[in-house]
Amino acid sequence: MTIAIVGLGYVGLPLCLQFAAKGVPVLGLDIDRAKTEAINAGRSYIRHIEAARIAELVQAGSFSASTDFARVREVAAVLICVPTPLKRNQEPDLSYVLKTGEAIAPHLQRGTLVVLESTTYPGTTEEELRAVLEAGSGLRAGVDFHLAYSPEREDPGNPASRVAEIPKVVGGYTPACLAAALALYGRVIRTLVPVANCRTAEATKLLENIFRSVNIALVNELKGVYGAMDIDIWEVIAAAKTKPFGFMPFYPGPGLGGHCIPIDPFYLSWKARQFGLETRFVELAGEVNTAMPERVVARVDAALQGQGKTLRGSRVLVLGLAYKAEVDDDRESPSYRLMDLLHEAGATAAYHDPYVPVIRPSRRHAHWAGTRSVAWDAETIGGFDAVLIATMHAAINREELAGWAKLIVDTRNAMAGIAGAAGKVWKA
């Protein structure tokens, strides 16, 4: 059987490689011609995915890419891995999912399996996506074609994370749909977790990410409380995690980033309001995390004032544009908000990130498009009044930073134990 995977980004591309490596021919579909051409040429555009791995599977004939969605008629299954962002009013934006459904529907064949993997609110697969597929194909879900939901569980930047080893939650529109989806994923995933229906699978993914959002909000709030008491939150967490039961460590930061954790709680809150329900706990966590960049910039201001300076007129370097260490993914990165706030306060903001050499165009941060990462050398780094650590990659030399920077505001506890940093570092 040949399958199609729509969306060749941080979720779709690793999934393509997993299926192709296990002998399932894969057709990757994307509206971005640059991505499809790169794949067919055996090149990678994602830092942690090796080009050699793509090239090997392309040369073997088990993986190819195209922008022609009419080729859906050639496949036995279609897996949808497209973005589900938020609109400016913080409401769900299902346009990528629904446009994908509209693109594949006219070419859908009887017996084809369609699986949505994008994170979304409960009901999306069985309601919105099903309606689009049925209207465009003239076929009925659960009768003429199979429909299922199976949330992605990617962990970019974690070398220990393997697609085949991560248990896969699967929910089907009907029992037959579930069976078809389990049969497909069973070819490449070691452990499958079937659940009652698509809604349950969608709710599972939201719980996973809301769990992280709430706990990160907790330590972000405690960081401020303990800081006022002259207690180091990082030392507290290190001590607490020695407890072998009943505790799981989470760490504070400058705000949330990535495509899931900053977004998913709002998907549930929006859906809950349709049932006349409030998600006060979830929304409070979102408020705490969203406010972190403002708190961090206030800390930068206080640090500069300690040297007789103010934000206005100062030059501040944001270190790390990617939303997490060891990846080149800058989606929803709090670094953008940090740079905006610094600029609004009258500072000159710049960034350094070895994995994001230039800022690409985006809907939310178009005004930063084309901005380049500054050089990493003593003269450049020493020319800034303060360096704000937002994300610390292993490739960044902490000892050099300690020696070159005039002032460091550290949101990641990255400079702990670094010789030469004493007296320069303000934790934030």
Q: What amino acid positions are annotated as catalytic residues?
A: 260
**What is the Cα–Cα distance from 56 to 62, expressed in whole angstroms?**
9
- DSSP bridge pairs for 115: 79, 148
Contact call for residues 353 and 373 (beta carbons, < 8 A): yes
- Name the one residue in this structure whose structure tokens are 């022609």: 68
**Residue located via tokens 């990165």:** 333
- Closest alpha carbon to 303 in 393, 409, 387, 153: 409
Amino acid at 189: I
Sheet of 63-66, strands arranged across? 63-66, 26-29, 3-6, 77-80, 113-116, 146-149, 168-172, 192-195
Residue 394 C-beta-side C-alpha neighbours within 13 Å: 4
The distance of Cα 18 from the centroid of its chain, to the nearest Å, equals 20
Angle between helices 198-228 and 233-240 (to 10 degrees): 120
The Cα–Cα gap between 338 and 390 comes to: 9
- What is the three-class DSSP state of 61? coil
How far, CA to CA in Å, does 224 sit from each of 130, 232, 262, 325, 330?
Answer: 46, 10, 20, 23, 26
Q: Residue 420 burial by CB count (10 A; 0-12/13-18/19+): exposed, middle or buried?
A: middle
Q: Which residues are within 8 A (CB) of 335 and not within 5 positions of it... i.e. 6 or more apart?
A: 254, 257, 318, 320, 321, 322, 323, 351, 390, 391
Distance CA 147, CA 134 (A): 11
Angle separating helix axes 12-21 and 51-59, nearest 10 degrees: 50
CB of 390 within 8 A of CB of 338?
yes
CA 8 to chain centre: 14
Task: List the structure tokens of 265.
Answer: 């709680």
